[in-house]
Chain A
Amino acid sequence: MYLTTGVLDLTGLFDEVRSTDGAVCVFVGVVRGESGGRETVAIEYEAYGPMAESEMARIAESLSRERPDVRVRVLHRVGRLAVGDASVAVVATAPHRDEAFAACRAAIEGIKTTVPIWKKEIRPDGTGEWVDATQG
């Protein structure tokens, strides 16, 4: 399971991958209260659910295939999130910190590039705007 509508359980994720490997790198993305100088009060995340699940699985599996001693767990939240809520979490484990940092970074960059998830920033007046990551 790679998508959830509930609060991200960071402790649970950490427990899932915890090993005696030596290094665990955690990245958590959080809803920002500002975008391009404009206030954001919430973000609505939407996913092409089944495809987002399979793309995130593919990212995690390909990182483990490249480095068999690396394990990656990713989880993305969808629905309406408030400023400060965690939207995405990546937990990467490896024998040493270099590999753990690299896998964690590669996973979040992969998520942002290929996983079909979209976000609409909600302004204080209630209007919303789809974010186009390829603009600006």
Chain B
Amino acid sequence: MLVRVLFFASFRDAAGREEEDRELPPGSRVSDLWSSLSRDIAPLSRFPVMPPAAVNREYVPAGTELHDGDEVAFLPAVAGG
């Protein structure tokens, strides 16, 4: 299955791109996607724990199962205001 990954702020700088499509085995969870990304994008591997994640624009726990076509974003510490 294919998911769309979005990168924002410091994560976009780290990844060098705003988004990508990533192929994952069926049944993959949000935490599996993070592992896959941090293997490929060195600066992300420095995070001791998975950052907050959103699937289809809603916060989700790390164990959430992904589906084909999902839009996933890992969110750097927010700093609005």
Chain A 103-122, CB within 8 Å of chain B: the 1/0 string?
A: 00000100111111111100
Cross-chain contact B79 with A48 (CB below 8 angstroms):
no
Cross-chain contact A132 with B79 (CB below 8 angstroms):
yes
Q: How many A-B residue pairs have CB under 8 A?
A: 70
| Contact with B57, one of A54, A112, A120 (Cβ below 8 angstroms) | A54
Q: Is the interface of A mostly helix, strand, loop or mixed?
A: mixed
Cross-chain contact B73 with A51 (CB below 8 angstroms):
yes
| Contact with B78, one of A29, A118, A135 (Cβ below 8 angstroms) | A118
B78 to chain A: which residues have CB within 8 Å?
A: 112-118, 133
Q: How large is the interface on B (under 10, 10 to 19, 20 to 34, 35 or more residues)?
A: 10 to 19
A50 to chain B: which residues have CB within 8 Å?
A: 57
Cross-chain contact B76 with A118 (CB below 8 angstroms):
yes
B6 to chain A: which residues have CB within 8 Å?
A: 48
- Measuring CB to CB, which residues of chain A are less than 8 angstroms from any residue of chain B? 29, 45-48, 50-52, 54, 76, 87-88, 108, 111-120, 130-135
- Interface core residue of A48, A108, A115 (most chain B CB under 10 Å): A48
Q: Tell me the complex Cα distance, A46–B18, Å.
A: 12
- Interface core residue of B57, B79, B80 (most chain A CB under 10 Å): B80
Q: Tell me the complex Cα distance, A50–B13, Å.
A: 21
Chain B 48-81, CB within 8 Å of chain A: the 1/0 string?
A: 0000001001110000000000000101111111
A-B contact pairs, 18 of them (CB 8 A): A48-B8, A48-B54, A48-B57, A87-B81, A108-B81, A111-B80, A112-B78, A114-B59, A115-B80, A117-B79, A117-B80, A118-B76, A118-B78, A118-B80, A130-B79, A132-B79, A133-B78, A135-B77
